[in-house]
A and B are shown apart, each in its own frame.
Chain A
Amino acid sequence: MTVLEFAAPVLEWRALAPILLVLAAGCLGILLEAVLPHHLRFVAQMSLVLASVVLSLAFLVINWFRGISGVLAMGSITLDGPAYFLWGALLVFGALAFMVFSERRVNGGVTAFAASAAAVPGSVEEAESARAGREHTEVFPLGLFALGGMMVFLAASDLITLFVALEVFSLPLYLMCAMARRRRLLSQEAALKYFLLGAFSSGFFLMGIALLYVYSGSFDLAAIHDAVTASVFGEGLLIAGLALLGVGLLFKIGAVPFHSWTPDVYMGAPTPVTGFMAICTKLAAVGALLRVFYVALDGERWTWQPLLAIIAVLTMVVGITAALTQTDIKRLLAYSSIAHAGFILTAVVGASQIVPAGQATSAASIMFYLAAYGFATIGAFALVTMVRNPAGEENGLAGWAGLARKNPAVAGLMALFMLSFAGIPLTGGFIGKWAVFTAAWRGGYWWLVIVAALASLVGAWFYLRVIVVMFGQEPAKGTFVGSASAWTWIPVVIGAVATLWLGMLPDSVMQLATFAGTFLR
């Protein structure tokens, strides 16, 4: 009979500092919310968020140069190359997304978030709080919690931590989705759907964890790997666990057939939040998917490769096909993000992890893809917030007609991002696609590459349609480009510069990704 003793956890403070800083700033933000008067909150929260993210990024870079890596926090977090790269990407994209959160000018002096999220839409209370010019600055700490959760999610080296992190970043996202200032019913509906389906998928996720635990006797990814390579019985448990865990992860990525939430949620959520989700959630989920499948389930790859190949094809085809007839720019971008998940999955399937020196592993090519996709996504959603009609944002594609004549800069930048999404050379999207297709080809999945190339060909059609609408049609009445502050323009400009940079001079980032492209087991 042993007595349960409480052992104080051993934490590597310095190595964990990037996560701890973000989460601590989130907690501090909640405190600020409680003690500061209304008029000070916005500035305080905004500064806190940006400062913490920048500081966290600084710690990350310092740790990287000091060569700190390994399994941390008593075996629950692995700090390795992919974790460094993806953390860095998360922090950069998070910072850019939070800048868009801070935009007030384009919205008539208030943020894009509800004046009083708890008020019933259309009620007197809502009208009063809107008149009083109130805003929900809680969105900033919520964003920080989500960001922290994502960071843990993609670095988690045991399944329990993975699950906790999943919930830590999902719950704030559900809330943030419900906080749109305009079209609040749509926003709340989106949040509720996201929540219900997210809970549903968490169920599968948790069941998968349980089955894998039964199979291997451990939550630890490395231990599961050992069990997979050593054991010969209980194959059924392993496959069932793998399937259910995979479903949970594929749900977050937005892979078909677990994608149905994506268009509705992307459309209903406040646009800055959509931008945040479109890149950061995807990035974290892809990171976790890679880690689970490459670190724990690598020995079982002959089982999951065909499955993921089918899902990749479905995801690309459904995403692109559905996008063809969309009339709402946010829905279009949602389906586009589904299609991109499919392209990423091709490289996951390829699973080329041992490559000649200096060449990109699957993980490296995916990380580059995510970087290229992320910069274009951040920029595109920031631009969506600027195209407006008198009632608010103009998301209907018809309203975007002839935008180039009203504001050539906005239309031109949007065109650039569309070209990058379509994978046109000289943009980051092209190099990214090239990289993931190479990884898939090298893994022996040449037919998948052909399908993916054809899919991207069809996909170019709807990206180009946006350009045609903006440049080739008579200007739509009632749409105008709102005057935005630097908080929108900085992400747009950084996104555009990075998109071109990654397209023309991809070497530096590609080398970084290649260098950081190996998982630690």
Chain B
Amino acid sequence: MILLETIVEPVAATGMYAHLWLMIAVPALSAAVLLLAGRVSDAWGHLLATAAVIVSFGVALAVFTSMLINDPGVRRVSLPLYTWFSTGEWEFGVGLLVDQLSILFALLITGVGSLIHIYAIGYMAHDARRRRFFAYLNLFIAAMLVLVLADNYLVLFVGWEGVGLASYLLISFWQHKPAAAAAGVKALVMNRVGDLGMLIAIFTMLALFGSSSFAVVNAGVAEAPGFWVTVMGFALLLGACGKSAQVPLQAWLLDAMEGPTPVSALIHAATMVTAGVYLVVRSHAIFELAPIAQTAVVVVGTVTLLAGAWIGCAQDDIKKVLAGSTMSQIGYMMLAAGIGPAGYAFAIFHLLTHGFFKANMFLGAGSLMHGMHEGVDMRRYGALRTAMKVTFWTFAMGYLAIIGFPLFSGYFSKDHIIEAAFEHNLVVGLCALIGAGITAFYMTRLMLMTFFGERRWDEGVHPHESPKVMTIPLIVLAVFSVGAGIVMNNWIQGWLEPALGVHPHELSLVPTPVGLLTMAVVAVGVALSWFVFGRGPIPRVAPATRNPITLAGRNVLFADQANGLLFTGPTVATAHAVDVTDRVGIDGAADGTGRAFGGLSAMVRRVQSGYARSYALMMLFGVLAVGVVLILSQLG
């Protein structure tokens, strides 16, 4: 089952690889400069930050090129940096590992990151705290690169926490809005639950193998007791659920849309939220030996892809629709990653294409908001295709990609997943298929409500196209949304093979029966959506409804209520109980002790009379007491 022999031992870093650390160091340094230099850097901070990410992208590109040039046997490169700490027999090094998997991620992070930095120059132009925003973005890039380039789980965890911090800082970037501040806290707290899973997994690894490095864990897992492998699998899955907003830890993602839109595009669509998928794929050796945990991954993925799609159908806030869709698409990736060797490459493939088309659409949404005075309610949009042409066309490319229109990027990546799901299990396959239909439904709804129909704009709103600094990244991303699939379709499996230990499937451009079926379902979804939303006028206020399905969708499947009932309520009650115990019981005991000793202290003070004669007498008594004790101890 596990194809260890195909996993190539990493080779030492030379040449371009030796400069790998620059990829992380440059944005980290830039973030430090921007945060420490203060207002001095207000004028040029955003330019420095953008340059830093572009440099980072350049390094990634150079590394990628040298990997392409090199023999496949030496594409897995490790770069030990220094010993972090050693305790007892354990030694923890900080080291980087770049292989076929992590370089793709690095390219996505730095490439899309660069575009989003450029975009944000325009988007955040009038924000008083622009420099800080860019510093946090750089911090995020550095942390995310640590996450994907780490050669062991402990360093990965550093990046994991780093992106969590950056995510928190950026979600609540507009901290003057109570909703934004609350959303940041919510994301942080829910991610803590996932982090707990990560920690349990890492502790288990340390206990079992004495190391957290990928190489040691992958090699040792075959001999490890099955129970503990399953524990690690579930713990890692919990971590992945937190970071990737998978059910049951999904509730934070929609609130996270309170952050500025470039943040939503970069962190909460293209990169950070896919870290869970990366984690599962990177830990494939563990999951392959823990079938229960693997099944759990499939279940989580399937449930989330349907839940996200459901939410996407009922929201009116354009960013929240996209967030629901992000959940759903990551659900697809999780599903693929859980299927086993057959799905890894497709999970990563979809991750990359999704990174492009979702970033594209989020940035498009940002452009719309820019033109619509920060309005996000699609019921106040309509007929924007003429007012904002570039945004419309680029957005349309993303739309076609996500619904899986033939030859667009999502077509390849999503169809492979659906096919693999059918091969895995009929129910899972059907769910994935239905999910594709719903995706087509709600994305068409979004398109119709935003770009078509009549104008439902608020008074005084005059939509206009965004400046070039924002539209050019959109165009670039649109190109990728269209072309990334066809370019990578036949290449990615072979490329990832050494990293994942899986032999590629034969793929053909001719649609398979499942592919044809998918197209049909998608077409039904589009048609249904047009039937509902395309023909008549759309009310400017969401109509009241008693339809439980719609209500559940509008209320994000009552996740907040469920969390409140199941976790927040009991936690708050426990906190109150602890507080009361602390104040009455423990403080009481402590104060009582303090008072008792205070009384004793007053007595001791009285002995300290200040007279040398009484001191001398006390000493004399002391000597006598010493004598008595010694005599007694001789007798005893």
Please determine whether B601 and A322 come into contact, CB atoms closer than 8 angstroms.
yes
Which of chain A's residues have a CB closer than 8 A to the CB of B604?
Answer: 318, 321-322
Which of chain A's residues have a CB closer than 8 A to the CB of B618?
Answer: 257, 260
B430 touches A (CB below 8 Å) = no
Q: A321-B600, A321-B604, A325-B598 are in contact. Are A257 and B616 (CB under 8 A)?
A: no
B487 touches A (CB below 8 Å) = no
B627 touches A (CB below 8 Å) = yes
**28 residue pairs A–B, Cβ–Cβ below 8 Å:** A193-B612, A193-B615, A196-B616, A197-B612, A200-B616, A235-B634, A243-B626, A247-B619, A247-B622, A251-B619, A256-B622, A257-B618, A257-B619, A257-B621, A258-B622, A260-B619, A264-B608, A264-B610, A302-B633, A303-B634, A304-B630, A307-B626, A321-B597, A321-B601, A322-B601, A322-B608, A325-B605, A458-B593
- B535 CB, nearest partner CB in chain A, Å: 69
Please determine whether B633 and A325 come into contact, CB atoms closer than 8 angstroms.
no
- B600 CB, nearest partner CB in chain A, Å: 5
A461 touches B (CB below 8 Å) = yes
Summarize B's interface: helix, strand, loop or mixed.
helix
> Within residues 252 to 267 of chain A, which ones have a CB less than 8 A from any CB in chain B?
256-258, 260-261, 263-264
Closest 7 CB pairs of A and B: A257-B622, A260-B615, A325-B601, A324-B601, A322-B604, A193-B612, A321-B601
A385 touches B (CB below 8 Å) = no
B602 touches A (CB below 8 Å) = yes
Q: A263-B608, A321-B601 are in contact. Are A247 and B623 (CB under 8 A)?
A: yes
Which of chain B's residues have a CB closer than 8 A to the CB of A192?
Answer: 612
A204 touches B (CB below 8 Å) = yes
Q: How far is the CA of A320 from the CA of B600 in the complex (A)?
A: 10
Which of chain A's residues have a CB closer than 8 A to the CB of B600?
Answer: 321
A306 touches B (CB below 8 Å) = yes
Choose among B598, B608, B630 the residue that contacts A324 (Cβ–Cβ < 8 A). Answer: B598
Q: Which of B601, B622, B626, B633 has the most CB of A within 10 A?
A: B626
A239 touches B (CB below 8 Å) = yes
Choose among B597, B605, B615 the residue that contacts A197 (Cβ–Cβ < 8 A). Answer: B615
A246 touches B (CB below 8 Å) = yes
Q: How far is the CA of A72 from the CA of B414 in the complex (A)?
A: 86
Choose among A193, A304, A324 the residue that contacts B597 (Cβ–Cβ < 8 A). Answer: A324
Q: Which residue of A lies closest to B617 (CB)?
A: A260
Please determine whether B627 and A243 come into contact, CB atoms closer than 8 angstroms.
yes
Q: Which residue of B lies closest to A263 (CB)?
A: B608
- B526 CB, nearest partner CB in chain A, Å: 62
Q: How far is the CA of A193 from the CA of B613 in the complex (A)?
A: 9
Choose among B625, B626, B631 the residue that contacts A246 (Cβ–Cβ < 8 A). Answer: B626
Question: B-contacting residues of A (Cβ < 8 Å)?
Answer: 192-193, 196-197, 200-201, 204, 235, 239-240, 242-244, 246-247, 251, 256-258, 260-261, 263-264, 302-304, 306-307, 310-311, 318, 320-325, 458, 461
Which of chain A's residues have a CB closer than 8 A to the CB of B597?
Answer: 320-321, 324, 458, 461
Q: Which residue of B lies closest to A318 (CB)?
A: B604
Which of chain A's residues have a CB closer than 8 A to the CB of B406?
Answer: none
Q: How far is the CA of A256 from the CA of B604 in the complex (A)?
A: 12
- B620 CB, nearest partner CB in chain A, Å: 8
Please determine whether A196 and B601 come into contact, CB atoms closer than 8 angstroms.
no
Which of chain B's residues have a CB closer than 8 A to the CB of A321?
Answer: 597, 600-601, 604
Q: How far is the CA of A261 from the CA of B615 in the complex (A)?
A: 7
B594 touches A (CB below 8 Å) = yes
Which of chain A's residues have a CB closer than 8 A to the CB of B602?
Answer: 325
Q: A307-B630, A325-B601, A458-B597 are in contact. Are A243 and B623 (CB under 8 A)?
A: yes
Please determine whether A196 and B612 come into contact, CB atoms closer than 8 angstroms.
yes
Q: Which residue of B lies closest to A195 (CB)?
A: B612
- B83 CB, nearest partner CB in chain A, Å: 15
Q: Which of B607, B619, B633 has the most CB of A within 10 A?
A: B619
Q: How far is the CA of A302 from the CA of B630 in the complex (A)?
A: 10
Q: Which of A243, A256, A263, A321 has the most CB of B within 10 A?
A: A321
Which of chain B's residues have a CB closer than 8 A to the CB of A324?
Answer: 594, 597-598, 601
List 18 extra interface pairs beyond A257-B618, A322-B604, CB under 8 A. A196-B616, A201-B619, A239-B634, A240-B627, A243-B623, A243-B626, A247-B619, A247-B626, A257-B621, A260-B618, A263-B608, A303-B634, A304-B630, A306-B629, A307-B629, A321-B597, A321-B601, A325-B601
